[in-house]
Amino acid sequence: MTTQTATIKQRAKKSPPPKPYHHGDLHQEILCAACELIEENNIASLSLREIAKKVGVSHTAPYRHFKDKESLLAGIAGVGFKELAKQLADAVELHHDNPAAQLQEAAHGYVQRAMTSPHCTQLMFSGILPCDDTYPELVASGDAAFDGLKMIIEEGQAKGVFKEGDIEILALATWSGIHGLALILIGGNLPEILSISVDIRQLTNAVTTTMLEGLKAS
Amino acid sequence: MTTQTATIKQRAKKSPPPKPYHHGDLHQEILCAACELIEENNIASLSLREIAKKVGVSHTAPYRHFKDKESLLAGIAGVGFKELAKQLADAVELHHDNPAAQLQEAAHGYVQRAMTSPHCTQLMFSGILPCDDTYPELVASGDAAFDGLKMIIEEGQAKGVFKEGDIEILALATWSGIHGLALILIGGNLPEILSISVDIRQLTNAVTTTMLEGLKAS
DNA sequence: ACCTGAACACCGTTCAAGT
DNA sequence: ACCTGAACACCGTTCAAGT
């Protein structure tokens, strides 16, 4: 209470009347709360009312900031896609001039991120959200991430370490392998024998090794 | 109405009083209706009440046959896993003594089935259903399908056309590629350029070719 | 045995009303 | 501008009651 009063006084002194009246940035707070709740439970049981309660506003307040539940979900997925793009950029940066190492690193980051935010990852790729131009920034983020992958492939071809061929298709084949492993892991579909005896890094390496063998220039 | 009366008369003549009193096999009818509805709309919006209405019973009748909504979903997924196992068996049968062709055929069947029943496929792998021993027959069907894949790899190794290595891990790497492509397709995540210019068969071949290159004995 | 209808606690969404 | 509370049509689930 005291803190709040202080903040208000400070505002009155310093700046012209600020926009929000209860919260600093309800939009962002809702998004954060939703990200947390979706990982604590799962996509299906995430409710707008629960999010509102967690943030401390009425259950209709989110409608000021999101058209409906779906566009809130799109917001969450958007955060995920940006994380993905960043991870990829980091992998490229880290292993300069070594496409194979970049791919390995990117794959590991992809799987790692999926395991840290499994339900967000599910949301991003499950087809719950429409993939037409309802959420153009979502498609854009996805395409940006894919572009990163294509650039790795392209550089590998230029260096003569990856085989020639349609970049789109080679990139898709590579992504498929990594994506498949990630979704198998977070879906809990890993065959039992593997889940008890092998660690994630080993599995990721196995998949990327197979992909890299398939990509190798002959 | 007339038809119903006729059926009842027929029963009275032909057979000892049959068990059900409104429906021949409500369990099966519910499962079928659910499979249809899940593909017409999507997982999230599938409701028990809608299924009951479609079948023509009260909204509480399904509880005689399924403990709750989740176990009904598990039933749907179970059907999907059996379809998958059959598709794999067919692929093996069709290309006797040719592991590479078996793999190619199995991959195509996998992707094809996913595209025919996208929402069922989503349900099977999305992690909505628990993967512990809550639904043991589900895990069993999944493992059976994976065993089929392992046998193809094993035969390839025996014939000297696939490289040596842990069968579990090689099978996982192969499955990852196919699974990833299938989920990218049904999730609507295929990059735009590919979706307008390339057909499914071509994409499947590209992925399996990469996998097979990676599997090849050196 | 199998099914129904009322009841309960939850949803998402809309809208008039408050500050 | 931003938030609230009542209201509506939907859920899943339970349970006493009907045939």
pLDDT at residue A198, rounded to an integer? 86
Measured CA to C1', what is the nucleotide nearest B20? Answer: C2
Q: Give the whole-angstrom CA distance, residue A212 versus residue A161.
A: 10
Q: Token pair 């399996």 is at which residue?
A: B208
Rounded alpha-carbon distances, angstroms, from residue A44 to A39, A135, A151, B134:
11, 21, 36, 19
Q: Give the whole-angstrom CA distance, residue B52 versus residue B29.
A: 10
Chain B's closest residue to A198, CA to CA, is B169
List, as ranges, residues 177-196 from B with C-beta within 8 Å of A.
Answer: 177-181, 183-184, 186-194
pLDDT at residue B83, rounded to an integer? 94
pLDDT at residue B66, rounded to an integer? 96
Q: Give the whole-angstrom CA distance, residue B179 versus residue A119.
A: 18
Give the residue, A1 or B68, on which the prediction is more confident. Answer: B68
Q: Does the CB of A49 fall within 7 Å of any strand C atom?
A: yes
Task: Indicate yes or no: CB of B127 within 8 angstroms of CB of A118.
Answer: yes
pLDDT at residue A53, rounded to an integer? 95
- Which of A66-75, A99-108, B15-24, B39-48 is predicted least confidently? B15-24
Give the residue, A89 or A20, on which the prediction is more confident. Answer: A89
Q: Is the pLDDT of residue B108 over 80?
A: yes
Q: Do A179 and B183 contact (CB within 8 A), yes or no?
A: yes
| Complete DSSP assignment for B45-57 | T--HHHHHHHHTS
Whole-model pTM?
0.89
List, as ranges, residues 116-155 from A with C-beta within 8 Å of B.
Answer: 118, 122, 125-128, 130-131, 139, 142-143, 146
Q: Does residue A65 sit in helix, strand or coil?
A: coil
Q: Using a 7 Å CB cutoff, list residues 136-165 of B near strand C.
A: none
Residues forming beta bridges with residue A216, ordered by sequence position: A162
B170 contacts chain A (CB < 8 A): yes
Residue type for position A55: V
Q: Give the whole-angstrom CA distance, residue B107 versus residue B109.
A: 5
Residues touching nucleic chain D (CB < 7 Å): A 19-23, 26, 57-61, 63-65; B 46-50, 59-60, 63, 68-70
